[in-house]
Structure 1
Amino acid sequence: MTAPLLKVDDLHITLEGDGASYNAVENVSFEIGRGDAFGLVGESGCGKSITALAVMGLLRRPLGIGKGRIVLDGEEIQNASAARLRELRGSKIGMIFQEPMTALNPLSPVGRQIAEMFVLHQSASWSEAMDRAEDALRQVRVPSPERRIRDFPHQLSGGMRQRVMIAIALACRPDLLIADEPTTALDVTVQAEIIDLMAELCAAKGTAILMISHDLGLVANMCRRVAVMYAGRIVESQGAEAIFATPRHPYTKGLVDSLPRLGERSKRGRQRLREISGVVPSIAAYPSGCRFNPRCPSVTDICRSAAPDVTALGDGLVRCHHHE
């Protein structure tokens, strides 16, 4: 079998604070093949974004990798030097951050920020790099790219800024694109345009995608496989179709059930969305046993006393005492 492009093996991310050490992420393992699309979903605070930052080598104190391996194209990078990580970021791994207004430099024209990728990673001259930056904006369907390369981020709409982020992330044809909530704060029609654009460009360049979102429907439409995180752990991983058709963990089922569906109406004529009761526990107050047990509708005594083991599900997995 072909080796995966990215392999995350038993990753633990620690958080130091108040004289104590906490596990923000535990036992996280997944693989992404070349040109494949993999989704990581869950509520805010479950550990998705810091897992992505660990892959990028962007964790900063008080966060750090406690143990585990991150293997990119056969190279272990969890302990790579800062210089090596700078070489990899942009050339081998690109990332679309959650909020482009804070990720982009407000004091630099967007064209120069794209051109910088070609100068740093492909030794292009600034003149050549600016020409290529204009082409990059054209590829992400920014109108009048010859004018927009001189604009600053605040002069662009949210959708335009997100297109600039995609242009920067894909400028040097990376092997892996990490998209962290790439449609946050965008209206529905612009969201659809951005997702279609990402999928089209990545397919053309053969780029693998790690899609991070709290929106299970969005991820399932784009990704072949999906992993569901809760309180720092992957609680279920299956093919995208199976996640919708036969969710095996109560948390996954709650996420699926909370999605709005066309045609469903209550007796009063309005659709009432289902919800998962309670909130994600604090990292300093994870419950004993299964971490989902205070919110789980199927909880029993064993759920409160013992953490569930990983159970194989064909080509997936689940962490639940009652997954049957």
Structure 2
Amino acid sequence: MTGQALLEVEGLRIDLSVNGRRYPAVQDVSFSIRRGETFGLVGESGCGKSITALALIGLLRNPLSIGGGSIRFHGQELLDLSPGGMRKLRGSRISMIFQEPMTALNPLSPVGRQIAEMFVLHKGANWREAERQAVEALARVRVPAPERRVKDYPHQLSGGMRQRVMIAMALACGPDLLLADEPTTALDVTVQAEILDLIQELSAAQGTAVLMISHDLGLIANMCQNVGVMYAGRLIEQRAADSIFLTPRHPYTQGLVASLPLLGARSKFGRKKLKEIEGVVPPVVAFPPGCRFNPRCHAATDLCRAEDPVVTPLPESGLVRCHYHD
């Protein structure tokens, strides 16, 4: 990894418009990713991880919109780019593996043509050469009989195969920044390991920066150098991966780590019951006052219910948003 940040996100806000009112779906999110670094983003569904990634690649649609902040890529402010300028970056220098490939792929076009289009648009290849490269791209993600599969439509493929096609498209042009939103969904364990190895090889060989979004904390711990934990649209803890899972500082992070199953863990009554975080993530239109986690936090006080905690730098490097992080 080099010291210079490839991607810098500062004070990002994403607004949700409902009946003429604007609510902060994501607020005050800041992080950076260096070349060759894999940055993990974790949290429950509905915390704002996926829409943060969509904002980075310029794919937010109504009722979501950018409400403020800065997104710099190679020092260039992406929020100032025209739609045409963003299209030139998207797919070539910035790529995304979407969480649901069935909705991301064009159902009316063979998957091979969709991959080949990447080489035509961004590499200037003719269609014959692009189709040959599409076969090679499918082979790299371990699609069997890629020469035949390039002619298939998305509905003819299994969920795992569609996911591999999506990954092949994202990796086709060797992007500088890869946004991976649950990249191993619907893949079996063996193929999952192969895909993660492929992403790591790309990062090591080309210095590709990776934003890895996942619910799998084990995957994040193994793949990422730094980790950000999101809750209710905010980053509530951000630290090195080797410390955040060993000594989590925020009660929410502690709850996520405590909910992991431990091999061989048993109580005197047999299997040890997994811990859980009571309650659910609040909807965007009804975030509670004070700390947004306070209704679910076992350690919440009147201060937590009244005042929003500020971001506090940690001595061992990192950030936490909690009144009682010590």
TM-score bucket (shorter structure):
over 0.9
Is the 1:223–1:240 Cα contact (8 Å) retained in structure 2? Answer: yes
Q: What per-residue deviation string (whole Å, max 9, x for no partner) do you get for residues 169-188 of structure 1?
A: 01111100000111234444
Corresponding residue number in structure 2 for 1:292: 293
Corresponding residue number in structure 2 for 1:318: 320
Q: Which moved more, 1:181-190 or 1:10-19?
A: 181-190
Distance in 1, Cα, partners of 2:200 & 2:264: 29
Secondary structure of the corresponding residue to residue 270 of structure 2:
coil
Corresponding residue number in structure 1 for 2:49: 48
- The normalised TM-score by structure 1 is 0.96
Distance in 1, Cα, partners of 2:193 & 2:155: 23
Distance in 1, Cα, partners of 2:158 & 2:22: 41
Q: CA deviation at 1:19?
A: 2.1
Q: CA deviation at 1:2?
A: 4.0
State the percentage of identical aligned residues: 68
Q: CA deviation at 1:167?
A: 1.0
Q: CA deviation at 1:189?
A: 4.2
Secondary structure of the corresponding residue to residue 312 of structure 2:
strand
Secondary structure of the corresponding residue to residue 245 of structure 2:
helix
Alignment of 1:101-140 (within 5 A): 101-140=102-141
1:67 counterpart = 2:65: no
1:147 counterpart = 2:148: yes
Q: CA deviation at 1:165?
A: 1.1
Is the 1:166–1:198 Cα contact (8 Å) retained in structure 2? Answer: no
Is the 1:162–1:182 Cα contact (8 Å) retained in structure 2? Answer: yes
1:277 counterpart = 2:289: no
Corresponding residue number in structure 2 for 1:178: 179
Q: What per-residue deviation string (whole Å, max 9, x for no partner) do you get for residues 226-283 of structure 1?
A: 0000001000000011111110000000000001110101223223111000111111
| Count of residue pairs the alignment pairs up | 324
- The normalised TM-score by structure 2 is 0.96
Q: Which moved more, 1:195-204 or 1:282-291?
A: 195-204
Q: CA deviation at 1:113?
A: 0.8
Distance in 2, Cα, partners of 1:22 & 1:236: 22
Corresponding residue number in structure 1 for 2:58: 57
Q: What per-residue deviation string (whole Å, max 9, x for no partner) do you get for residues 21-73 of structure 1?
A: 10011110000001110011110111111110100000111111111000001
Is the 1:96–1:179 Cα contact (8 Å) retained in structure 2? Answer: yes
Corresponding residue number in structure 2 for 1:194: 195
Distance in 2, Cα, partners of 1:271 & 1:102: 39
1:237 counterpart = 2:238: yes
Distance in 1, Cα, partners of 2:188 & 2:139: 22
Q: Which moved more, 1:67-76 or 1:155-164?
A: 155-164
Q: CA deviation at 1:122?
A: 1.1
| RMSD between superposed Cα atoms in Å | 1.4
Distance in 2, Cα, partners of 1:320 & 1:266: 32
Distance in 1, Cα, partners of 2:203 & 2:161: 18
Is the 2:174–2:202 Cα contact (8 Å) retained in structure 1? Answer: no
Is the 1:181–1:213 Cα contact (8 Å) retained in structure 2? Answer: yes
CA change 1:86–1:165 in 2 (3 A) is same
Secondary structure of the corresponding residue to residue 173 of structure 1:
coil
Is the 2:107–2:154 Cα contact (8 Å) retained in structure 1? Answer: yes
Q: Which moved more, 1:74-83 or 1:200-209?
A: 200-209
Corresponding residue number in structure 1 for 2:78: 77
Q: Which moved more, 1:23-32 or 1:313-322?
A: 313-322
Query: What amino acid maps onto 1:116 in structure 2?
Result: E
Corresponding residue number in structure 1 for 2:221: 220
Corresponding residue number in structure 1 for 2:97: 96
Corresponding residue number in structure 1 for 2:22: 21
Give the gaps of 5 or more residues in structure 2.
none
Distance in 2, Cα, partners of 1:282 & 1:106: 32
Q: CA deviation at 1:17?
A: 0.8
Secondary structure of the corresponding residue to residue 262 of structure 1:
coil
